[in-house]
């Protein structure tokens, strides 16, 4: 299974916001720079996360983006399922004609069961389980790498 880029970017944003000082907010520009994701992609990600109450956004001089309590209390599996935005993310037998559909093919059922097991397994973990002990070093190394190129 491969997660889409939207899910990847969203999880990166949530990890960053969760690890970041929870009392302060950050800007799209900060997220873009720290996570090395284009600002235009982040606009869509943050809008979606805000609509789903996973982040709190505030406009203006003292505005920014902070993580919500809901995001911290939601299992990673449920977050991934929500971010994938597809109730049948692995295979869709009707998206393109499939000769096996009318012959009681079991592949979709097997894949759906495996996907649910993945979600259930990931729901045993939360954003807090993705904390880094060397948070400052991650971004210090990023600056050093940029200066040497």
- CB-side exposure of 66: number of CA atoms within 13 Å? 12
Cα 44 from Cα 31, distance rounded (Å): 13
* Percent of the chain at pLDDT exceeding 90: 53
Q: What is the pTM of this model?
A: 0.83
Q: What is the pLDDT of residue 93?
A: 74
pLDDT value of residue 88: 66
Is the pLDDT higher at 110 or at 53?
53
The winner for highest mean pLDDT among 12-16, 18-22, 96-100, 104-108 is 12-16
Arithmetic mean of pLDDT, 42-71: 93
* Nearest C-alpha neighbor of 131 from the set 15, 31, 51: 15
């Amino acid at each position: 299974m491969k997660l889409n880029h939207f899910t990847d970017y969203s999880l990166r944003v949530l990890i960053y916001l969760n690890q970041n000082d929870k009392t302060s907010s950050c800007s799209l520009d900060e997220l873009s720079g720290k996570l090395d994701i284009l600002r235009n992609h982040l606009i869509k990600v943050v809008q979606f996360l805000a609509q789903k109450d996973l982040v709190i956004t505030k406009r203006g001089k003292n505005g920014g983006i902070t993580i919500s309590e809901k995001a911290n209390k939601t299992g990673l599996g449920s977050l991934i399922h929500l971010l994938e935005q597809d109730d049948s993310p692995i295979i869709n037998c009707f998206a393109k004609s499939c000769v096996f559909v009318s012959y009681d093919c079991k592949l979709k059922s097997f894949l759906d069961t495996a996907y649910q097991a993945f979600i259930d397994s990931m729901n045993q973990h939360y954003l807090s389980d993705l904390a880094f002990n060397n948070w400052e070093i991650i971004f210090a190394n990023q600056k050093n790498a940029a200066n040497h190129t």
